[in-house]
Amino acid sequence: MTGNDRRAARGTPGTSAARTDPEPPPPGGVLWTIAGDVRALLMLPAAFTMQVAHPAIAAGVDEHSVFRTDPWGRGERSLRSVQLWVYGGEGAAEEGRRVRRLHKDIQGTDTRGRRYHSLDPACYAWVHATGFPVYLYAGRYLLRRFTPAQEQQLYREWLQVGRILGLRDRDMPQTIEEYWTYWGRMLAEEIGPTAVARELVATDVPLPRPEAGPLPVRLLLRLTWPALRAAFLRLRAFVTAGYMPPEARAAIGLEWSPAQERRLRRFSTAVRLLVPLLPERLRYLPIAYRARAAWHASRR
């Protein structure tokens, strides 16, 4: 395989990465199958809400994020970053460095009155840690139940994402067994119903109208936004609580009824049956689709 072939197999063209750069998750792995699938869009709100249920992360987002004034732009940038960690090939490590540069000056006092820095592993590792349980739990509804071997592989690949983000191995549980011990401790001692977490599941908060897109779409949104805004906020609250692991839901204080669970199962079944029928260019998000196409081409 030539150097160009290796870059294609990694999913993106580019210059040679430094030898010390951590490797992104492998093409063809578990994350390559699920992280860029459009169904992941339904999983991300649960992970983001779990992140801001941490006192330090909630304070940082509250004071430094534009999630209130530019929620659509912020969401698009966050989604692009997540996709690059998995599908960015030689650019994955640079994206991880970019994320760290953005956070290097974020510090202050958390919601419990403690000093924090956003890159302190005590809170930075939690941002990374929320992805794994959401993939497992939401995947049972939207994808499939993973085998024990697939769970182990998913966790190994998620550790690779942590290294892309600049986390050291000593900052992350190195086995699934260690992870669940860490998870239980964090839910018991740190995670709770912060104001930002409650805001992300509220259905009566202001939400700016999206301004991107063709002129006809923008005009239509101006006319229909009050109704669409209310529907979107209800859907966001529903999937956030529904696809969040129950023990995290309880720690954050989110209610969930048997009737909501039945609705979630019906909704998830429809999504699970429909998405595989779509062509790959619609089933996968753009960065993932291009990386997967390049990898398949290199194999041929």
Per-residue pLDDT of the chain (300 residues; tens, 9 = 90+): 434 444 434 444 344 444 589 999 999 999 999 999 999 999 999 999 999 999 999 999 999 988 888 998 889 999 999 999 999 998 999 999 999 999 999 999 999 999 999 999 989 999 999 999 999 999 999 998 899 999 999 999 999 999 999 999 999 999 999 999 999 999 999 999 999 999 999 999 999 988 877 888 888 888 898 999 999 999 999 999 999 999 999 999 999 999 999 999 999 999 999 999 999 999 999 999 999 999 989 887
Half-sphere exposure of 157 (CA within 13 A, CB side): 23
Relative orientation angle of helices 40-51 and 71-87, to the nearest 10 degrees: 110
- What's the CA gap between 277 and 292, in Å, rounded? 18
Contact 94, 24 (CB under 8 A): no
For tokens 């998620």, name the residue.
Answer: 158
Position 268 scores a pLDDT of: 98
Sign of CA dihedral 189, 191, 196, 202: negative
Total-model pTM: 0.89
Q: Which residues pair with 117 in a beta bridge?
A: 107
Q: CA 145: distance to chain centroid? A: 19
Contact 171, 41 (CB under 8 A): no
- What's the CA gap between 286 and 84, in Å, rounded? 11
- What's the CA gap between 162 and 168, in Å, rounded? 8
Please provide the DSSP assignment of 222-283 as one string. HHHHHHHHHHHHHHHHHHHHHTS-HHHHHHHT----HHHHHHHHHHHHHHHHHGGGS-HHHH
